[in-house]
A and B are shown apart, each in its own frame.
Chain A
Amino acid sequence: MRRVACAERPDWRAKAAGCGFGFHTIDDAPYWDESAYYAFSLREIERDIEAPTEELHAMALDMVERVVANEAWLRRLAIPEPYWDWIAASWRERQPHLYGRLDFAYDGTGPAKLYELNYDTPTSLFEAAFFQWQWLEDQLARNALPAGADQFNSIQESLVEAFGSIARSIARPFRLAAVRASSEDQGTVAYLRDCALQAGIDCELLAMEDIGISADGRYTDLDDGVIGCLFKLYPLEDMFRESFGQHLPRSGLQLIEPPWKAILSNKGILPLLWETHTGHPNLLPAVFDDGGELPRGWTRKPLHSREGANIAMHLANGQQFASDGPYDGPCIRQASHPLPAFDGRYPLIGSWVVGDRACGMGLREDATPITKDSACFVPHAIVEEARGVLMA
């Protein structure tokens, strides 16, 4: 794994505009950054990222099976009781899911360490699946990459295939919703809609705020059509506590991601995974937080923080980092395992699972060891090292 400086494509901004990638720059700060890329060997990808992703995904699904039947654990995860039966039923019925992202700390040596599962509302999808792919194709065509360079990224193919395989079990009408004012989230659902259409599924976009409720507790779109299935790029735990949430269990609405994802999009799954698989090479030690002072070597994360908010990190050497944010409530502790630094940047690997298959990755790098919403997306390539270069 190396960070390699690389000339940008002269026309990448025009290309971004052409494919609807409007959020390559957010609040005047760059988000898409192709002035460098990360180079991996195929062995690093397959042994250290792809295989552990598939294994951890299977372990995570296995945990759902255990947690839905365990009231003490559901309580530990701060899932409100009125939703327990509905979540359990969604798992018993194996309601279809689409995708998830595992975040890893990895430096090219030793096992990748799982930071968390983003299994409910993962973003950075379009840039990983499509724009990164286009970058590789363009740079190969310009001879800006070693001949034969590849990328761990069949995400788009996998999305279209996954939509195709769950098409029969998606209730219609199918709507995809995100927060109206977030261009990043809107771009992500527009992309998912494109993938669904390519799989032959008729669907429309809707702003989360425009969802309506009928007198008998069914959810409607702007034409008063009763929504059959809703893909919501919106946290389940937020829906639970908002005023329309109470209708979810009896509304007949199908959700993607399905209700059982509430168990996996919760950092409480990390101590449960550790308890069940203590010592697993890809897991970091994790416990539920008792609220006391954070000792050296531990990081505190709320059960439900996103985009690196409200994280407190106390490194073994005494250094401390903290990020602010809007989240409170119960927390977990995870053994501190700082991100590696490459040229003063801290890359976090997002490894995608679509359907149940590990199918690609995207890297985001920040200027500090906590990856926040300010982190830039940097493309990657699989490049086989020439032996002579390694020995030189």
Chain B
Amino acid sequence: MKRSRTAALLLMGTAPILLTACNSDREASRQGLYTSVEACVAATNDSATCKQAFAKAQQDAVATAPRYTSRAECEAKYGAQQCVERNDNAQHSFFGPMMTGFFLSQMMRNGAAMNGFNSAPAFRDNRGDWQRPATGAGAGTGGVYRGGAGTAMVPVSATPDRAVTVSRGGFGESSGSRGAGS
């Protein structure tokens, strides 16, 4: 066969393409992946939210961490000494990775955080890549790959470097409204 066995789309078509535009009241989301409450406070200067987000993520980790039937399976993906035994509500025992960070997302307006936040536990696999459950913060985006039985995980990037932008619009000058593809 000369064609793809399957071809599916994850996000395309489920929602209109949204490009955040530079608008006047500068509404935007602030998202971060933090390895400690201290790192979160350093980045956001919002101690109360960081503590709440951490506590909620820890609580959610029991329910949403990837699940493995054996410690060995879990350690194959997350590394030695990185997995713990947990129990679900029905007292079934399973193994999952330890929460090694948490993800916090807040809506911002005019540079200030608005009420409310989303948080999720984050796990780091043995390649150093971060991921969080597809449910919780940013839910609705759908699962990307299966971290373990039952839980779809999406990749997350570590908090990027920041730099104050002094100018925008220096690319795209040649195109006008025509496309640039060929």
Query: Which residues of A are found within 8 Å of B4, using beta-carbon distances?
Result: 129, 133, 153-157
Q: How far is the CA of A235 from the CA of B2 in the complex (A)?
A: 31
Restricting to A159-177, which residues have a CB under 8 Å from any CB of B?
168, 172-174, 177
Task: Contact check, A151 vs B171: say whether CB atoms are below 8 A apart.
Answer: no
| A173-228 at interface with B (beta carbon < 8 Å) | 173-174, 177-182, 184-188, 190-191, 193-194, 197-198, 200-202, 205-216, 218, 220, 222-226, 228
**B170–A242 contact, CB under 8 A?**
yes
Complex Cα–Cα for A229 and B29 (A): 21
Interface size for chain B: under 10, 10 to 19, 20 to 34, or 35 or more residues? 35 or more
Which residue among A178, A179, A234, A306 has the maximum number of chain B CB atoms within 10 Å of its CB? A179
Judge whether B19 and A193 touch: CB under 8 Å. no
Report whether over half of chain B's contact residues are helix, strand or loop; otherwise say mixed.
loop
Whether the Cβ atoms of A234 and B172 lie closer than 8 Å is yes
B4's closest neighbor in chain A, by CB?
Answer: A157
Complexed CA–CA distance, A377 and B9 (Å): 21
Given A20-B13, A197-B144, A243 and B173 touching (CB < 8 A)? yes
- Judged by a CB distance under 8 angstroms, whether B81 is at the interface is no
Residues in B whose Cβ lies below 8 Å from that of A133: 3-4, 7
Stretch at the interface among A106-114, A116-124, A293-301, A340-348: A116-124
Does B28 lie within 8 Å of A223, measured CB to CB? yes
Report the minimal beta-carbon distance from B155 to chain A, rounded to whole angstroms.
4
A372 to chain B, nearest CB (A): 11
Task: Give complex CA distance A180, B172 in Å.
Answer: 9
B5 within 8 A of A: yes
| Those of B123-182 within 8 Å (CB) of chain A | 127, 129, 144-145, 154-158, 160-175, 177-182
Cβ–Cβ contact B9 & A130, under 8 A: yes
Report how many A-B pairs have Cβ atoms within 8 Å.
212
Task: List A contacts of B13 (CB < 8 A).
Answer: 17-21
Question: Residue A191 contacts which of B2, B3, B12, B160 (CB distance < 8 angstroms)?
Answer: B12
Does residue B10 face the partner (Cβ distance < 8 Å to A)? yes
B48 in contact (CB, < 8 A): no
How would residues 131 to 157 of chain A score, 1 for a CB under 8 Å from any chain B CB and 0 otherwise?
001101000000000000011111111
B17 interface residue (CB < 8 Å to A): yes
Chain B residues near A168: list those with CB within 8 A. Answer: 127
A121, A123, A157, A197: residue with the most chain B Cβ atoms closer than 10 Å: A197
Query: What are 22 pairs between A and B in contact, CB < 8 Å?
Result: A42-B2, A118-B182, A133-B7, A150-B1, A150-B2, A154-B4, A157-B5, A172-B157, A179-B172, A193-B11, A197-B155, A198-B145, A200-B145, A200-B155, A205-B17, A211-B172, A212-B167, A214-B163, A224-B165, A225-B160, A234-B171, A238-B174
